[in-house]
Structure formats: structure tokens, C-alpha cells
Structure 1
Amino acid sequence: MIVRNLKEAEQSERKIVSEGWDSTRLLLKGDNMGFSFHITTIFEGAELHLHYKNHLESVYCISGEGSVEDLADGTVHPIEPGVIYILDKHDKHILRATKEMKMACVFNPPLHGKEVHDETGAYALEAEPVSGD
């Protein structure tokens, strides 16, 4: 059994901070579950151009407000608590936060731990792992 505390993880190398967001990676590839689980904060005013070429992702909004734009057809979907969006086709999208958003995110294949977005808005398939707990 694996048990982790979000507040403790936020004070460790499991918390990754980047431009417009931070992500606390609670479950990673090294945990051997076949997916990773993160609590991510999208800062108010952020506009993130993303394209997870190497991963599928599901994102559930816990708090805050914003939108996700599907770049394939230009559809903009409002994001608020209780909304989930699923990037099942490696969808190019823009995530915007009008109020700081707290999101629960699941990635398949799992992240190693220290990934940040590259110039295309993707995470590398192989990256430096978070060491230990």
C-alpha cells in the first residue's frame, strides 16, 4: 500500500513549479501503478498551449474557473469545479485560468516526476525520476 500526504509532498521534490502552473506528483512511474496522479494548480491569468504527444490525460477541476480550447475545431469548454476533460486523442489545446484552478490529473503512461512542458507543450516520454519518497 502506498500512502502519501499532499501537504508533505508539496514540501518535497515532488512539487514541480513552472511558468503559469505548479504540480505535485503524488503517484509516479516508479510506483508501478501504470499511471501517474498529480494535483496541479493553474495560476490565475495563465494561458498554456499544450499538446501531450506522448501521454493521454484526464483532468478534473476541484476549484477555480477557466476554459479549455480544442484547437482541432476551436470549441471552448468552460472549466469549473466538477468538470472533467479527457485528452483521449493527444489533443492540442489551450488551457486558460480566469481564477486560480486546482486540478486532479491522471497521465498514461505515467510521468517519472520532473517533467515540464517542452517548446511544443508536451512532456518527454522519458525524464528524470523523482528519487525516493
Structure 2
Amino acid sequence: MAVEGNSLVDWAAFGQARSELGAGFVRILGYFREDGVKSVAAIEQAMRAKSAAAIVIPAHTLKGEARQFGAEPLALLAEQIEMTARDCVERHDTPEDALPHIVKLRPLFTQTLELLEREANPLVARKPQGGGFGRRVASY
């Protein structure tokens, strides 16, 4: 799942979440960080323990929280892990089929979180979106 930085986050969905959550946005993004770190660690630990059942809930949690912030590639990967684990539970099988996806999870989570937090940081200098007061719009 090679994904470019710009396609890791649906910025329209991110903006909608930001406006809907208002003043609580940064706090809730912090919860996403905390929960995501725990979910990724729990998924990796469950994989080491060969417990498909222990993968399902943290993958499901990560999927939903990622979607809330427009992190669709992360949500899709978590969903793939969740569905694979659910299938393994039904077959009374170990989760080896999920391993290739789980290996990709931590790097994708880290990269996505960095983008989300950078965009949410009020101290990050942003490019002006046009003229603005005292600025001339560049003509090309």
C-alpha cells in the first residue's frame, strides 16, 4: 500500500471534522494519537500471540477514528486487518493472513498522524490562499 503524503488524508473530511468538533478538535486529535498508539501496539502484540480475536477490537477502533479525521488509507488498512482477523476467528485459525497488512500499519499510522498534527498545529505557518489584505495575488 504505497501511498503518497498528499493522499494519506482527505483534507475536506479533515476540515469538516475540524469545524464540527470546534474547540475540542485538538483535544480529540490527541485522543486519536493515544488510542491509535495503543491500538497499533495491541494489534502487533496480538499478532505475536497469534490471537486473531485480540486483533478485532483495536483494528475496529483504529478504523473508525481514522475515518473521523479523513485518514482513509489508514482506515482501509485497519479495516482489512479487522476483516481478516474476523475471518480467522470464524475459522478458528491463527491470524497469519493479516501479517502483511499489520507490518504496514505502524509506518502508515505514524506518517498519517504526523500530517494530521502538523495541519492541526496553530503555530505552523500556512501559505496564504490568494491575495488577502496587503497581498497581491500572483498573476501567471
Q: Which of the pair is proportionally richer in helix?
A: 2
- Greater Rg by CA: 2
Shorter chain as denominator, the TM-score bin is under 0.3
- TM-score scaled by length of structure 2: 0.24
